[in-house]
């Protein structure tokens, strides 16, 4: 695809509600965020596509978390792509941007030009929520028995939260006039909100007993959900990527009969929280003997951030709980 200069709604998440039904959602557009994430690594195209999809899912899901909270998505797999990890850091204060970071671990010798999802084997999809010091982290896991990462996220919400959820995503390389090729992504998330906390015993009507929307909704709610999904099915790839159509106009185009109502958009940026202090803290559990085993032939202890590529070079005498020169 060929696009023009950076547009106003790049790297934003717009929350909305369909007032005709109990359905809320988000529209996300990512551009510079993906560039910041992917340029840190020389990923093969298949891995880039999977990381781009996970980053987009993370932006759509993360918009709902509270200030200063952290949301993490993880895929653990027995396939050539062993792990994909993303973090979403909610703004520290109202009006500030959220931050996203992501990386993948994979076996280069097993990566091919085949469909990206063919590189994901048996495993699980997990969502983790960190609410800060003094709070118990939340974790939910669902098996990877789906054909895409967005399907895995939908399955997670159905099985763990019992919330009917739908993602419609588009992502790929774009070429701006006069600029370099880079990744862009856009998507819509729909979620049916229950009138009361759902709790469904036993299995659902889906394959292997998985819960489906029909298992969680009344007849009237099911009709609303099917109608919203039918309208979302009419969206085109370039409408999701959004070079010419603002998110607000997209919602009117798709859901004008559903009375869409939008809220303040959330800007998102690429951002990493690694630091030398954090590296030192992670090494503080090791003895001097352990640190000696980590010391290179050059007499240094080194560490690299998988998310942003930052390199830390430390004096072995300054790390570990027996450090002689802590902090140097």
pLDDT tens digit string along 209-229? Answer: 566 666 677 788 889 999 999
% of the chain with per-residue pLDDT over 90: 47
Q: Which residues pair with 18 in a beta bridge?
A: 23, 260
127 or 308: which leads in pLDDT? 127
| pLDDT score, position 108 | 94
Region 61-90: mean pLDDT is 92
% of the chain with per-residue pLDDT over 70: 87
Region 261-268: mean pLDDT is 94
pLDDT digits (tens, 9 = 90+) for 310-328: 778 888 888 887 776 654 4
The domains located in the chain, with CATH, are 8-270 (3.55.30.10), 276-318 (no CATH)
Q: For 187-207, b where at least 16 C-beta lie within 10 A, e where not — what string? A: bbbbbbeeeeeeeeeeebebe
At residue 199 the predicted structure's pLDDT band, cuts being 50, 70 and 90, is low
Q: Is the pLDDT of residue 274 over 80?
A: no
| pLDDT score, position 200 | 56
Q: Is the pLDDT of residue 50 over 80?
A: yes
d(C-alpha 143, C-alpha 76), whole Å: 10
d(C-alpha 282, C-alpha 279), whole Å: 5
pLDDT digits (tens, 9 = 90+) for 140-160: 898 887 789 999 999 999 888
Kindly report the average pLDDT of the chain as a whole number.
85
Q: How many other CB atoms are found less than 10 A from the CB of residue 303?
A: 18
Q: How many CA atoms lie within 13 Å of 149's alpha carbon, on the beta-carbon side? A: 31
Q: Is 230 exposed, middle or buried (0-12, 13-18, 19+ CB in 10 A)?
A: exposed
At residue 117 the predicted structure's pLDDT band, cuts being 50, 70 and 90, is very high
| pLDDT score, position 4 | 43
Question: Which range scores top for mean pLDDT: 77-81, 196-200, 204-208?
Answer: 77-81
215 or 35: which leads in pLDDT? 35
At residue 5 the predicted structure's pLDDT band, cuts being 50, 70 and 90, is very low
| pLDDT score, position 83 | 95
């Amino acid at each position: 695809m060929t696009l023009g200069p950076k547009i106003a709604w790049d790297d934003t998440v717009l929350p909305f509600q369909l007032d005709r039904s109990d359905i809320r959602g988000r529209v996300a557009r990512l551009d510079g965020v993906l560039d910041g994430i992917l340029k840190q690594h020389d990923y093969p195209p298949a891995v880039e596509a999977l990381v781009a999809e996970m980053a987009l899912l993370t932006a759509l899901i993360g918009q709902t978390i509270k200030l200063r909270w952290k949301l993490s998505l993880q895929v653990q797999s027995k396939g050539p792509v062993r792990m994909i990890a993303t973090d979403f850091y909610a703004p520290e204060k109202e009006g500030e941007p959220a931050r996203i970071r992501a990386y993948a671990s994979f076996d280069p010798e097993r990566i091919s030009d085949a469909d990206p999802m063919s590189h994901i084997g048996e495993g699980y999809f997990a969502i983790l929520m960190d609410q800060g010091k003094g709070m118990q982290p939340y974790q939910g896991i669902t098996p990877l028995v789906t054909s895409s990462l967005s399907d895995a996220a939908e399955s997670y919400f159905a099985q763990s939260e019992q919330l009917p959820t739908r993602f419609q995503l588009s992502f790929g390389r774009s070429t701006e006039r006069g600029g370099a090729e880079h990744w862009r992504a856009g998507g819509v998330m729909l979620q049916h909100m229950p009138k009361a906390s759902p709790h469904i015993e036993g299995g659902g009507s889906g394959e292997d007993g998985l819960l489906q929307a029909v298992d969680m909704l009344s007849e009237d709610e099911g009709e609303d959900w099917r109608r919203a999904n039918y309208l979302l099915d009419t969206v085109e790839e370039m409408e999701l990527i959004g070079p010419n159509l603002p998110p607000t106009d997209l919602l009117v185009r798709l859901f004008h009969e559903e009375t869409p109502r939008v809220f303040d958009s959330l800007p998102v940026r690429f951002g990493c929280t690694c630091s030398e202090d954090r590296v030192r803290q992670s090494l503080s559990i090791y003895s001097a003997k352990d640190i000696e085993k980590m010391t290179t032939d050059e007499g240094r202890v080194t560490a690299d951030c998988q998310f942003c590529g930052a390199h830390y070079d430390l004096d072995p005498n300054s790390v570990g709980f027996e450090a002689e020169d802590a902090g140097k």
